[in-house]
């Protein structure tokens, strides 16, 4: 019989607990949605968005929010919250931040460029292309370097 492996970093339980919390607060149509945020809920005629950031850390949380999450946050700024979720001894705690508040804790590191190289059959010669991926080019590297320099100089 195989053993079930649970990802301790998974935010699934945090999302479920926050859905229950929002229902308790009187929100309706509360559901895990994924886009434009992890959880969407309605109160009256207004739709609200909650991006869940779960951590098991005790004193300091080092995490990340994607540019897509920030884009959604600014598009729905009056009704969007970043929610830091923790669970201590079985009790959930949720700290909600407006986009403006969460910006105060956020910074932009040097850009990261991801790669995907097969390693099992010798040197790869054909790159796996995805339709949502932006292919790295010399020009894009130069643009990113210049943009990051501009950010640093501000």
What residue ranges define each of the domains in the chain, with the CATH number in brackets?
12-103 (3.40.1350.10)
Q: In the structure encoding, which two tokens stand for residue 106, read together?
A: 């956020």
What is the three-class DSSP state of 48?
strand
Strand ranges of the sheet holding 28-32, from the earlier edge strand across to the other edge: 28-32, 39-43, 46-54, 80-88, 91-97
Q: Are 39 and 32 in contact (CB under 8 A)?
A: yes
Place of tokens 């923790």: 86
What pLDDT, on the 0 to 100 scale, is given for residue 9? Answer: 57
Over the stretch 24-79, which tens digit does the pLDDT of each residue have? 999 999 999 989 999 999 999 999 999 999 999 989 999 999 999 999 999 999 99
Separation CA 18–CA 96 (nearest Å): 11
What pLDDT, on the 0 to 100 scale, is given for residue 122? Answer: 78
Average pLDDT, the chain: 91
Q: Are 92 and 86 in contact (CB under 8 A)?
A: yes
């Amino acid at each position: 019989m195989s053993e079930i492996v649970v990802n301790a970093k998974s935010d699934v339980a945090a999302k479920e607990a926050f859905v229950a919390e929002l229902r308790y607060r009187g929100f309706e149509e509360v559901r895990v949605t994924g886009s434009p945020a992890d959880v969407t809920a309605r109160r009256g005629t207004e739709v609200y968005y909650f991006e869940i950031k779960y951590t098991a850390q005790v004193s300091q949380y080092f995490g990340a929010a994607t540019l897509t999450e920030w884009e959604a946050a600014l598009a729905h700024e009056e009704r969007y919250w970043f929610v830091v979720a923790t669970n201590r001894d079985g009790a959930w705690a949720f700290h909600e931040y407006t986009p403006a508040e969460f910006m105060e804790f956020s910074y932009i590191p040097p850009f990261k460029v991801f790669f995907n190289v097969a390693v099992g059959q010798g040197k790869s010669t054909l790159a796996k292309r995805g339709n949502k991926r932006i292919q790295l080019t010399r020009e894009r590297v130069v643009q990113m370097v210049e943009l990051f320099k501009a950010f640093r100089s501000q």
